[in-house]
Amino acid sequence: MATNILVTGSNGFIGRNLLSLLPFAYPGANISCLVRSSRPEMPGVTSLEVNYADPESLFSCQAIQDADLIFHIAGITKAASEEVFWRGNVEPMSNLLQVIGQRSQLPQRFVFISSQAASGPAQHIDHYKTETESDTPFEPYGKSKLAAEKLLIENPFGIPYTIIRPSAVFGPYDVDFLQLFKMTKSRFNIYFGTKEKYLSVVYVEDLVEGIIQAAKSEAAINQVFFLCNAVGVTWQEIQEGVFQVMGKDFFEINVPAFPLKVLASMGTCYSLLTGQQLLLNRNKIALSEPDYWLASNKKARELLDFQPKFCLLDGLIKTCAWYRDKGMI
């Protein structure tokens, strides 16, 4: 059982949800979080400010030296250039591995939360990508996540690892699905060329429970897993589900993808000029272009007994209740 647990990316969507379950999954463990900037302390959790670009900052961090179990979630999901993705997703992995590799004793496990984007899209409606298929990322985010995965897999120190590739995740603390809930106020259900596109999804509680299952499983050592629900859904099902749980009727509007691409290009230019990363940019549009973002959870079911409890609608109901409780919708 891990005595010292280290979490990176604890300020993010998945990190916050994982952090809420770790004390129950590992009673009595010392939990530390690496953060880029200071934040209020959480009960039972120690936050340590580090600079991922500076190996010396990482080397001098005692929590990294002592960690039995590491959950590496820190990274960036939106950026205006490939260089920014590389700095945010690949360089931190490289520096962390160099520091961990110099320890006198290696951690029990390094669990890396990657992305389905590292694998690339499926080819057709009946094709659910598996972990043994060739990886075909086609945009900078997915490529950077795959590059980070390869650094971990090929690390020369023998650090035992598990790689998790979540599908589209939703639930408490998510800011992307929040925009869909806010859209219901207008009663306009707007699709930008995505209505009939398929994707795999997973409610965040199911995801973090799967992450913990993988961290505890000997069968997961040096393995890669997709974590998602067994059956894909369409954006139509998602958006109509949001209106349903919000109790709102809607007028459907189908907008061609081209105007959004123009706005995304403007968003990318703005980000390059100001350094502020916007959700609407060319990379996000590229991710929305494939018709099938589908992945199989068969390996996780067989090796980890991963059994998602929440279907799309049940997850949306819980997400809606959380947003309302926080006064966000």
pLDDT (mean) for 8-17: 95
Q: What is the pLDDT of residues 142-178, one digit of tens each?
A: 999 999 999 999 999 999 999 999 999 999 999 999 9
Q: Is the pLDDT of residue 282 over 60?
A: no
pLDDT digits (tens, 9 = 90+) for 219-259: 999 999 999 999 999 999 999 999 999 999 999 999 876 55
**Burial zone of 203 (CB within 10 Å; 0-12 exposed, 13-18 middle, 19+ buried):** buried
pLDDT band, residue 129 (cuts 50/70/90): very high
Sequence-distant (≥ 6) Cβ neighbours of residue 283 within 8 angstroms: 78, 79, 80, 85, 139, 140, 141, 268
Average pLDDT over residues 28-35: 95
Question: Are 224 and 288 contacting, i.e. CB atoms less than 8 angstroms apart?
Answer: no
CA atoms within 13 A on the CB side of 75: 25
Q: How confident is the model at residue 267 (pLDDT cuts 50, 70, 90)?
A: very low
**DSSP 8-class letter at 148:** H
Q: At what angle do helices 235-246 and 312-325 cross, to 10 degrees?
A: 50
pTM more than 0.85: yes
Q: How confident is the model at residue 262 (pLDDT cuts 50, 70, 90)?
A: very low
pLDDT of the residue at 322:
98
% of the chain at pLDDT higher than 90: 82
pLDDT at 14: 98
Domains of the chain: 4-171+201-229+294-309 (3.40.50.720)
Query: Both ends of the chain: CA-CA distance in Å?
Result: 41
Question: Kind of pairing, strands 198-199 and 233-234?
Answer: antiparallel
151, 137 contact by CB (below 8 A): no
- Structure token digits, residue 216: 């505890």
The DSSP secondary structure of 212-276, one letter per residue, reads HHHHH-GGGTTEEEEES-SS-EEHHHHHHHHHHHHT---EEEE--HHHHHHHHHHHHHHHHHH-P
Residue 286, pLDDT score: 64
- The residue ranking higher by pLDDT, 81 or 65, is 65
Tokens at residue 206, please?
Answer: 């199911």
User: What DSSP state is assigned to residue 46?
Assistant: E
- Yes or no: say if 7 and 33 are a contact pair by the CB < 8 Å rule: yes
Cα(71)–Cα(63) distance, integer angstroms: 12
Give Cα separations from 7 to 164, 186, 270, 309 (angstroms).
15, 39, 32, 25
Is the model's pLDDT at 266 over the cut of 90? no
Mean pLDDT of the chain: 91
Q: Contact, 92 vs 98, CB < 8 A?
A: no
pLDDT, residue 80, reads 74
- pLDDT value at residue 278: 43
Q: How many residues does the chain have?
A: 329
pLDDT digits (tens, 9 = 90+) for 43-64: 778 899 999 999 999 999 999 9
Exposed, middle or buried, 176 (CB in 10 Å: 0-12/13-18/19+)? Answer: middle
